[in-house]
Amino acid sequence: MGSSPAATPAAPAEPVPRWLWWTIYACIAALIGCAGVLAVAGPVDSRSLGLVLQQAGAAFAPALAAVSAALGSLLPASEERVTALTEDSFAPFLLAHPLALVEFYAPWCGHCKRLAPEYAAAAALLAAANVTAVLAKCDATQAGKIAGIYGVKSFPTMKWFRKGVVTEYKGGRTAATIVQWVTRRSKAPLTRLRSAQELRRLQAAAPVSVVGFFEAGEPQLGAEGAAIDAAARSPTFAALLGAAELAEQADYAFGSVALLPKVGPGASKEFVAQSRSSHIVLHRAFDEPSVRYKGALTAAALLSWVALESLPSVFQFSPSTQGKIFAKREAPLLHVLYFGDKSNTDQYEENERNLRKAYASYKGAVLNVMVDTELKSNANVVKFFAVNTAALPTLRGFRLLGNKKYESGSVDFTAAGFRAFAAALEAGTLSPIVKSAPVPKSQPGPAIEVVGDTFLELVVESKKDVLLEVYAPWCGHCKKLQPIYDELAALYKTNPHVVIAKMDGTANEAAGLDVKSYPAIKLWPAGQRAPVEYKGERSLKGFQAFLAKKCKFCGKEAKCPLGFDQDGNKPAAGEKKPEL
Q: What is the pLDDT of residue 411?
A: 83
State whether 205 and 283 are in the same domain. Answer: yes
Instruction: Look at residue 266 in the predicted model and tell me its pLDDT.
Output: 45
Rounded Cα–Cα distance for residues 518 and 277 (Å): 54
Which stretches within 14-60 are classed as H helix?
Answer: 18-41, 46-59
pLDDT digits (tens, 9 = 90+) for 84-139: 999 999 999 999 999 999 999 999 999 999 999 999 999 999 999 999 999 999 99
The pairing of strands 191-193 and 157-162 is unpaired
Q: Which long-range contacts (CB under 8 A, 24 or more apart) does 87-93 make?
A: 87/142, 87/143, 87/145, 87/146, 90/138, 90/143, 90/146, 93/136
What is the rounded CA–CA span in Å between residue 117 and residue 149?
27
Tell me if 97 is assigned to some domain: yes
> What DSSP state is assigned to residue 170?
-
CA 479 to chain centre: 26
Domain stop point among 432, 467, 500: 432
What pLDDT is stored for residue 52 in this prediction?
A: 38
Backbone dihedral region for residue 149 (phi beyond 0: left; psi -120 to 50: alpha; all else: beta):
alpha
Active-site residue identified among 34, 138, 475, 551: 475
Q: Are residues 237 and 203 in the same domain?
A: yes
Same domain, 390 and 333: yes
Are 345 and 384 in the same domain?
yes
> Would you call 192 exposed, middle or buried from its count of C-beta atoms within 10 A (0-12, 13-18, 19+)?
middle
Q: How far apart are CA 1 and CA 527, in angstroms?
A: 53
CATH of the domain at 207: 3.40.30.10
Total domains in the chain come to: 4
Eight-state DSSP code of residue 457: I
- Which of 146, 164, 185 lies at the terminal end of a domain, its last residue? 185
The SS3 call for residue 260 is: strand
Q: Are residues 416 and 322 in the same domain?
A: yes
> Pick from 323, 328, 338: which is nearest to 387 by CA?
338
**Among 27, 34, 109, 560, the one annotated catalytic:** 109
Do 154 and 195 fall within a single domain? no
φ, ψ dihedrals at 119, nearest 5°? -65, -45
Sign (positive or negative) of CA dihedral 368, 373, 376, 379: positive
β-bridge pairing 465-471 and 532-533? unpaired
Out of 138, 478, 551, 560, the active site residue is 478
Q: Which residues contact 179 (CB under 8 A, 6 or more apart)?
A: 68, 72, 122, 125, 126, 129
Residues 66, 176 within the same domain: yes
Of 354, 348, 349, 496, nearest to 417 (Cα)?
Answer: 354
Burial of 163 (0-12, 13-18, 19+ CB in 10 A): exposed
* C-beta of residue 251 within 8 angstroms of C-beta of residue 310: yes
Q: What is the pLDDT of residue 563?
A: 56
Q: Tell me, what's the pLDDT at 157?
A: 95
pLDDT number for residue 233: 65
What CA–CA distance (Å, rounded) separates 526 from 556? 13
Is the same domain home to 415 and 483? no
Q: How far apart are CA 408 and CA 375, in angstroms?
A: 22
pTM for the model stands at 0.59
For 200, list phi and psi in degrees, rounded to 5. Answer: -65, -35
Q: Mark which of 185, 212, 235 sits at the end of a domain.
A: 185
Q: Are 506 and 473 in contact (CB under 8 A)?
A: yes
109 counts as catalytic: yes
Alpha helices per DSSP H over 213-366:
235-246, 299-309, 322-325, 345-362
At 270 the pLDDT is 57
**Pairwise CA distance, residues 145 & 318, whole Å:** 41
pLDDT digits (tens, 9 = 90+) for 306-320: 999 999 999 999 988
Q: Are residues 81 and 121 in the same domain?
A: yes
Q: Is residue 577 included in any domain, yes or no? A: no
Distance of alpha carbon 435 from alpha carbon 82, whole angstroms = 44
Asked whether residue 490 is domain-assigned, the answer is yes
Q: Nearest Cα to 469, choosing from 436, 438, 512, 504?
A: 504
DSSP character string of 349-414: HHHHHHHHHHHHHHTTTEEEEEEETT-GGGHHHHHHTT--TTS-SEEEEEETTTTEEEE--S---S
The full DSSP string for 492-559 is TTT-SSEEEEEEETTT---TT----SSSEEEEE-TT-SS-EE--S-SSHHHHHHHHHHH-SSBTTTB-
Please tell me the predicted confidence (pLDDT) of residue 183: 87
Is 10 within the bounds of a domain? no
Q: Report if residue 414 sits inside a domain.
A: yes
Determine the structural domain holding residue 295 and report its residue range. 191-300
Annotation marks residue 34 as catalytic: no
112 tagged catalytic: yes
- Pair (392, 462) in one structural domain: no
Query: Is 17 within the bounds of a domain?
Result: no
Whether residues 179 and 84 share a domain: the answer is: yes
Report the pLDDT value the prediction gives residue 234, as an integer from 0 to 100. Answer: 80
| Residue 2 belongs to a domain | no
Are residue 197 and residue 273 in the same domain, yes or no?
yes
CA distance 131 to 457: 56
Which ranges of the chain have pLDDT less than 70?
A: 1-79, 216-233, 248-250, 259-276, 554-580
Q: What pairing do the DSSP bridges indicate for beta strands 252-259 and 208-215? A: parallel
Q: Residue 388: inside a domain, yes or no?
A: yes
- Taking only the tens place, the pLDDT of each residue in 518-533 is 999 999 999 888 899 9
